[in-house]
Amino acid sequence: MKSSPSGRSILAVLSADLLLQILDHLPDPSDRKAWRLVCRDFLRVESLQRRSLRLLRREPLPAVLGRYVSLECLDLSACPLVDDRAAQSAFGGIRLRALRSVNLSRASALRWHGLELMVSACPALESVDLSYCSGIGDREMAALARAKGLRELAATKCVGVTDVGLARVAVGCPGLERLGLKWCLEISDIGIDLLVKKCRVLKDLDVSYLKVSNASLLSISSLEKLEVLSMVGCSFIDDDGLAHLRNGKNSLRIIDVSRCDNVSCSGLDSLIRGHNHLREINAGHCFPELTQPFLARLKDLEKNLNTIKLDGFHVSSTVLGTIGLHCKDLVEIGLGKCNGVTDEGILALLSGCIRLRTIDLTCCHLITDIALYAIAKTCSTTLTCLRLESCTSITEKGLNRIGTFCVHLVEIDLTDCGIDDEALRCLSKCCNLVELKLGLCSGITDKGLAHIGSNCEKLQELDLYRCAEITDNGLAAIASGCKKLKKMNVCYCSRITDLGMKHLSGLDQLSDLEMRKLVKVTSVGITAIAIGCKSLTEVDVKRCYSVDDVGFWALAQHSEKLRQINASYCPISDVGVRLLLSRLRCLQDAKLVHLPKVSVMGFELALRAACDRLKKLKLLIRWKSLLSRELLQTLQARGCRIRWVDKSLDAE
């Protein structure tokens, strides 16, 4: 848009307030992007309104932070190599008074100086995500502790953090309300005790997989405002620890003790006695059977409990009947891999639980159409998610009931259920489906996909793993009717050719494509995907033996957002791999196993070109002694985690 003849800005005709109102009517991100590219005035107005931003590259970060002065949430988790140098250029010398939340997950190269700069530049900082930042240790925690107003901290798998670092955060940030310490294995009872003494307003705490004992639960029991406690896989915690929680002062609403080997029904029973306001219990894979005293205790929660997950238990019809009797307000139940779940048990459960939205029956092999009839009848207006993986006794008759009555169904998993085209015809009545998993259903053909393509226009995720009868025509039907598709798995669908890829290239929202061992797809098909699917961020072409340098050149040229690629076993050469890794500026994860045409020098040059971006790398073990030690040290120093594998050329 050009200025008026007098040279005046468009803001002289349309005020900033009016332009902001126009912008409010553009919810689609692509429309907003086009809008701000019209002219500088539109860009300036958009910068005044924008509150959140997710960057794919670090280079524009300084300019972006200077422009978007009202930014409140900044997500850098997709940026390769966010290190102290990047933090210096982004946060050095500026004040971001509105910025409250920063996501730095997987920024493995970030150290204490970068965090110190960020904290100094953001006086209103309340939330920081450092999950999977392998370089974070006690000194980094000390730098973060200067953020006095911090309320939320995610530090999942920050393995360098010890009790000392936790103590620094606890002392410096007494207002912490949510803290995730999952997999921080160096934290002990001592650190948890000090945390509890200093951070008295904690509401949400995750200590999963920590080597903490009952002593930690004794400390935690004094947190009066604690509502959510996750302690998955805490093998040193037992029923005595849960008794501490029962006698404590918490306001627990959600408790997760799944995979806590030494917790029993008695411990959960005592916990419920002290917390009759629990809304969610996850006790999966803890102990083999549920006792009658525990089931009877569920009556104390009948007005509050809405979610219970019992994966891996032996669950009889009597048990399910008792749950149905005492937990009438359940909206989610998890029975994945539970032995003893039968049609009779599901009927008993549904006699009381009539508001269920999510039902997980994964690997409940005794379930038949009778259970599906009952689910369709009872949960017709509420059901949104149904997981039936490996329920091999269900047929199209049961799915016809689900498709006819469960009009709000959004997600269904039918992996390895052995269903056919008729079942898909019945299921296609669920016009609100967003996620559909059909992996290992070898009876599905193009005819079944045509039903899905004709009726499920809201579909965003489709899994066709090893559906060997699918051809290009089936993909044409999906591409024609499911324009919102974002994630697709067609691995080992060996009849698909370049024509099928051409059909998929029309899906401009497709971001994740798994197409492992499509032996009939060549570089022509990959080129079509690269050119057409501009949103592509992840692609798996492992064992696509006809995809060579030409196809990878197309990805390097057109797939600017690509962050993850698996090119293992492909006939790519030195030139191709170097071009791929040097041109893809957003690439962070590369699997490059068994590339027979790539030499030592080819790997050296390619990895040097990408060493400032890669976070994860998968290579054959034999390259460990052939690649230069200096290169490997540089990669690791910049936060790249290298996984060395020893696989034969023919191994799957």
Distance CA 93, CA 254 (A): 43
CB atoms within 10 A of CB 2: 6
- Crossing angle between the packed helical segments 84-91 and 112-121, to the nearest 10 degrees: 20
> What's the token pair of residue 446?
């193009």
Q: What would the pLDDT profile of 228-240 be if each residue is shown by its tens digit?
A: 999 999 999 999 9
pLDDT band at 1 (very low <50, low <70, confident <90, very high): very low
Of the candidates 100, 101, 105, 97, the one whose C-alpha atom is nearest the C-alpha of residue 78 is 105
pLDDT band at 243 (very low <50, low <70, confident <90, very high): very high
Predicted pLDDT of residue 8: 57
Predicted pLDDT of residue 25: 67
Lowest mean pLDDT: which of 67-71, 115-119, 297-301, 344-348? Answer: 67-71
**588: pLDDT strictly greater than 50:** yes
Mean pLDDT score of the chain, rounded to an integer? 93
Lowest mean pLDDT: which of 74-78, 144-148, 389-393? Answer: 74-78
CB atoms within 10 A of CB 373: 19
51, 207, 374 from 17: Cα distances, Å: 16, 47, 55
**Cα radius of gyration (the chain):** 27
Predicted pLDDT of residue 12: 59
- Which residue do the tokens 């009556």 mark? 299
**537: pLDDT strictly greater than 80:** yes
Predicted pLDDT of residue 7: 53
**292: pLDDT strictly greater than 50:** yes
**39: pLDDT strictly greater than 90:** no
User: Which spans in 505-566 are helix H?
Assistant: 523-532, 549-558
**616: helix, coil or strand?**
strand
**538: helix, coil or strand?**
strand
Predicted pLDDT of residue 150: 98
Which residue has better confidence, 77 or 47? Answer: 77
74, 100, 176, 459 from 231: Cα distances, Å: 29, 28, 18, 35
Q: What would the pLDDT profile of 405-431 be if each residue is shown by its tens digit?
A: 999 999 999 999 999 999 999 999 999
Of the candidates 79, 81, 119, the one whose C-alpha atom is nearest the C-alpha of residue 100 is 119
Burial of 224-244, coded b for 16+ CB within 10 Å and e otherwise, reads eebbbbbbbbbebbbbebbbb
Distance CA 571, CA 596 (A): 7
Predicted pLDDT of residue 60: 85
| Helix or strand (DSSP H, E) at 590 | strand 589-591
Most confident of 272-276, 436-440, 582-586: 436-440
Of the candidates 385, 336, 386, 398, the one whose C-alpha atom is nearest the C-alpha of residue 362 is 336
Distance CA 126, CA 130 (A): 13
CB atoms within 10 A of CB 6: 6
Distance CA 368, CA 376 (A): 13
Segment 269-275 shows an average pLDDT of 90
Decide if 155 contacts 130 (C-beta within 8 A): yes
Distance CA 510, CA 508 (A): 6
Predicted pLDDT of residue 4: 46
- Which residue do the tokens 């499509």 mark? 518
pLDDT band at 56 (very low <50, low <70, confident <90, very high): confident
pLDDT band at 384 (very low <50, low <70, confident <90, very high): very high
111, 321, 379 from 352: Cα distances, Å: 54, 8, 11
Q: What would the pLDDT profile of 387-399 be if each residue is shown by its tens digit?
A: 999 999 999 999 9
**498: helix, coil or strand?**
helix
Distance CA 407, CA 563 (A): 36
**156: pLDDT strictly greater than 70:** yes
**510: pLDDT strictly greater than 50:** yes
CB atoms within 10 A of CB 602: 18
Segment 60-75 shows an average pLDDT of 88
**489: pLDDT strictly greater than 60:** yes
Lowest mean pLDDT: which of 66-80, 488-502, 604-618, 626-640? Answer: 66-80
pLDDT band at 10 (very low <50, low <70, confident <90, very high): low
pLDDT band at 52 (very low <50, low <70, confident <90, very high): confident
Distance CA 435, CA 416 (A): 16
Lowest mean pLDDT: which of 50-54, 117-121, 488-492? Answer: 50-54
Distance CA 383, CA 416 (A): 22
**pTM metric for this prediction:** 0.91
Q: For residue 251, which phi and psi values (nearest 5 degrees)?
A: -115, 45
Residue 604 identity: E
Predicted pLDDT of residue 2: 46
**567: pLDDT strictly greater than 90:** yes
Q: For residue 289, which phi and psi values (nearest 5 degrees)?
A: -135, 155
Strand partners, 162: 186
**35: pLDDT strictly greater than 70:** no
Predicted pLDDT of residue 259: 96
> What's the token pair of residue 356?
């269920």
CA dihedral in degrees (536, 538, 541, 547; nearest 10)?
Answer: 40
**348: pLDDT strictly greater than 90:** yes
Of the candidates 605, 638, 567, the one whose C-alpha atom is nearest the C-alpha of residue 80 is 638
Rounded to 5°, angle at Cα 571 from 567 and 574: 85
- The DSSP result for 15-30, as a single string, is -HHHHHHHHHT--SHH
- Which residue do the tokens 């200093």 mark? 198
Decide if 424 contacts 454 (C-beta within 8 A): no
Q: What would the pLDDT profile of 539-562 be if each residue is shown by its tens digit?
A: 999 999 999 999 999 999 999 999
Segment 378-390 shows an average pLDDT of 97
Which residue has better confidence, 81 or 263? Answer: 263
Distance CA 614, CA 619 (A): 13
Q: What would the pLDDT profile of 174-204 be if each residue is shown by its tens digit?
A: 999 999 999 999 999 999 999 999 999 999 9
| Helix or strand (DSSP H, E) at 217 | helix 214-220
pLDDT band at 3 (very low <50, low <70, confident <90, very high): very low
Lowest mean pLDDT: which of 16-25, 419-428, 586-595? Answer: 16-25
Compute the half-sphere exposure of residue 563: CA atoms within 13 Å on the CB side of its CA: 13
Sign of CA dihedral 118, 119, 123, 126: positive
107, 108, 224, 295, 436 from 84: Cα distances, Å: 10, 11, 38, 54, 42
